[in-house]
Amino acid sequence: MILEINGLTKNFGGLTAVSGIDIKVNDGEVLGLIGPNGAGKSTFFNLITGVIPPTKGKIIFKGKDITGKRPHEIAELGIGRTFQLNPLFPNFTVLQNVISSFQIRPCSNWLDTFFNTPVYRKNEAYILEQSLEILNLVGLYKVKDELAKNQPHGYQKMLGVARALAIKPSLLLLDEPIAGMNPDEIDNTIEAIKRTSQRGVTIILVEHNMKILEICNRVVVINFGQKIVEGSPQEIKENPEVIRAYLGSGHDTKH
Amino acid sequence: MGSMIAARDSSSRRKNYTQIILYGILICFLLFIPLFFQSPYVLHLFILTLVYIIAAASMRFIMTSGQIPLAHAAFLGLGAYVSAVLSKHVGLSPWLSLFIAAFVAMGVGIFISFPFARLKAFYYAMVSLFFGVGLLQAIESLGKLTGGLAGITAIPTLFNTASKVPYYYCFLALTLVSLVILYRFEVSRIGWNLKAIDQSYLVSSSVGISEVKYRVLAVAIGCFFVGLAGGMYANYNVTLSPSSFDSSVTLWMIIYVTIGGMNNFSGPIIGTAVLFLIPQYFSGLKQYAPFISAAILFLVIFMFRNGLVSIPGLLMAFYKRKKSTSKSR
Amino acid sequence: MAESTILLIVATIVNALVLSSMYILLALGFTFLFNIMGILNFAHGVIYMIGAYICFYMATVVGINQWLALLISVAVVGLFGIFMERFIFRPFFGNINSIIVVCIGLITVLVNAVAISQPYNVQVTPAFVQGILKVGIVSLSWQRIVFFLIGVSLLILVLLFINKTKQGLQMRAVAQDLEGAILQGINVHFVSALACVIACALAATAGSLMGSYLSLTPYMGNDIMIKVLEILVLGGIGSINGVLFAGLIVGTLDAVLPIWLSGTATQAIMMLIIIVILLFKPQGLFGKEVRA
The answer to whether A50 and A79 are in contact (CB under 8 A) is no
Q: Does B183 touch chain A (CB under 8 A)?
A: no
Q: Which long-range contacts (CB under 8 A, 24 or more apart) does A208-216 make?
A: A208/A34, A208/A37, A208/A176, A208/A179, A209/A178, A209/A179, A210/A34, A210/A237, A210/A255, A211/A186, A212/A32, A212/A177, A212/A178, A212/A186, A213/A32, A213/A34, A213/A237, A215/A30, A215/A190, A216/A30, A216/A31, A216/A32
Q: How many domains does chain B contain in total?
A: 2
Q: Does B25 touch chain A (CB under 8 A)?
A: no
CA dist., res. C142 & res. C125, Å (int): 16
Are the beta carbons of C105 and B291 separated by less than 8 Å? no
Stretch 43-82 of chain A: residues touching chain B, C-beta under 8 Å: 49, 51, 70-73, 75-76, 80-81
Are the beta carbons of A100 and B7 separated by less than 8 Å? no
Tens digits of residue pLDDT in B188-216: 889 999 999 999 888 888 888 899 999 99
Nearest CA of chain C to the CA of B101: how many Å? 22
Are the beta carbons of A100 and B205 separated by less than 8 Å? no
In B, minimum Cα distance to A110 occurs at B190
The yes-or-no reply on A/C contact (3 CB pairs or more, < 8 Å) is no
Are the beta carbons of B200 and A89 separated by less than 8 Å? yes
pLDDT at residue C148 is higher than 90: no
CA dist., res. B131 & res. B134, Å (int): 5
Return the partners of chain A (3 or more C-beta pairs < 8 Å).
Answer: B
Nearest CA of chain B to the CA of C53: how many Å? 20
Are the beta carbons of B3 and A131 separated by less than 8 Å? yes
Q: Highest mean pLDDT: which of A209-213, B61-65, B317-321, C4-8?
A: B61-65
Are the beta carbons of B248 and C222 separated by less than 8 Å? yes
Q: Does C226 touch chain B (CB under 8 A)?
A: yes
Same structural domain, B6 and B85: no
Optimal mutation site among B120, B250, B301, interface C, most CBs of chain C within 10 A: B301
C222 chain-B contacts, CB cut-off 8 A = 247-248
Are the beta carbons of B123 and C100 separated by less than 8 Å? no
Q: Which of C21, C23, C82, C13 minimizes the C-alpha distance to C224?
A: C23
A63 within some domain? yes
pLDDT at B55: 96
Q: Which of B122, B69, B125, B120 minimizes the C-alpha distance to C34?
A: B122
pLDDT at residue C221 is higher than 80: yes
Q: What is the CATH number of the domain that holds A36?
A: 3.40.50.300
pLDDT at A247: 63
Are the beta carbons of C34 and B122 separated by less than 8 Å? yes
pLDDT at C4: 75
As a whole number, mean pLDDT of residues C262-273 equals: 78
Tens digits of residue pLDDT in C102-137: 888 888 889 888 888 887 777 787 777 777 777 776
pLDDT at A252: 45
| pLDDT averaged over every residue in chain A | 83
The yes-or-no reply on C/B contact (3 CB pairs or more, < 8 Å) is yes
Are the beta carbons of C91 and B130 separated by less than 8 Å? no
Q: Which of B304, B301, B321, B302 minimizes the C-alpha distance to B312?
A: B304
CA dist., res. C40 & res. B127, Å (int): 12
Nearest CA of chain B to the CA of A24: how many Å? 22
Same structural domain, B116 and B202: yes
Q: Which domain range does residue B2 map to? A: 1-31
For residue A4, give the DSSP letter. E
As a whole number, mean pLDDT of residues A182-188 equals: 83
pLDDT band at B4 (very low <50, low <70, confident <90, very high): low
Higher-pLDDT residue of B56 and C133 is B56
Same structural domain, B18 and B132: no
A145 chain-B contacts, CB cut-off 8 A = 7-9
Nearest CA of chain B to the CA of C62: how many Å? 28
Select from C91, C103, C292 the Cβ nearest to the Cβ of B120: C292
B297 within some domain? no
Same structural domain, B62 and B108: yes
Q: Does B193 touch chain A (CB under 8 A)?
A: yes
A206 within some domain? yes
B200 within some domain? yes
Optimal mutation site among B64, B111, B141, B257, interface C, most CBs of chain C within 10 A: B141
pLDDT at residue C96 is higher than 60: yes
Q: How many domains does chain A contain in total?
A: 1
The answer to whether B19 and A140 are in contact (CB under 8 A) is no
Are the beta carbons of C100 and B254 separated by less than 8 Å? yes
Q: Which of A69-73, C76-80, C137-141 has the lowest mean pLDDT?
A: C137-141
Same structural domain, B222 and B98: yes
Model-level pTM greater than 0.90?
no
pLDDT at B175: 94
Nearest CA of chain B to the CA of A147: how many Å? 11
Select from B127, B248, B258 the Cβ nearest to the Cβ of C282: B127
> How many cross-chain Cβ pairs, A to B, lie less than 8 Å apart?
112
Same structural domain, B96 and B19: no
Tens digits of residue pLDDT in C36-92: 888 888 889 999 999 999 988 888 887 788 888 889 999 999 999 999 888 888 888
B311 within some domain? no
Are the beta carbons of B125 and C40 separated by less than 8 Å? yes
Same structural domain, B16 and B144: no
Q: Which amino acid appears at position A210 of this protein?
A: M
pLDDT band at A196 (very low <50, low <70, confident <90, very high): confident
Same structural domain, B110 and B243: yes
As a whole number, mean pLDDT of residues B184-190 equals: 91
pLDDT at residue B62 is higher than 90: yes
pLDDT at residue B248 is higher than 80: yes
pLDDT at C237: 84
Are the beta carbons of B192 and A91 separated by less than 8 Å? no
Count Cβ atoms below 10 Å from residue C200 Cβ, excluding itself: 30
Q: A59: part of which helix (H) or strand (E)?
A: strand A56-61
B296 within some domain? no
Same structural domain, B245 and B187: yes
Are the beta carbons of A114 and B199 separated by less than 8 Å? no
B83 within some domain? yes
A99 within some domain? no
As a whole number, mean pLDDT of residues B57-71 equals: 93
pLDDT at residue B327 is higher than 70: no
Q: Does C272 touch chain B (CB under 8 A)?
A: yes
Tens digits of residue pLDDT in B262-294: 888 889 999 998 888 877 777 666 677 788 888
Q: Which domain range does residue A32 map to? A: 3-87+157-247
pLDDT at C277: 87
Are the beta carbons of B302 and C91 separated by less than 8 Å? yes
Are the beta carbons of B126 and C229 separated by less than 8 Å? yes
Q: Highest mean pLDDT: which of A243-247, A250-254, B102-106, C208-212?
A: B102-106
Q: Which amino acid appears at position A186 of this protein?
A: I
Same structural domain, B14 and B142: no
As a whole number, mean pLDDT of residues A21-26 equals: 87
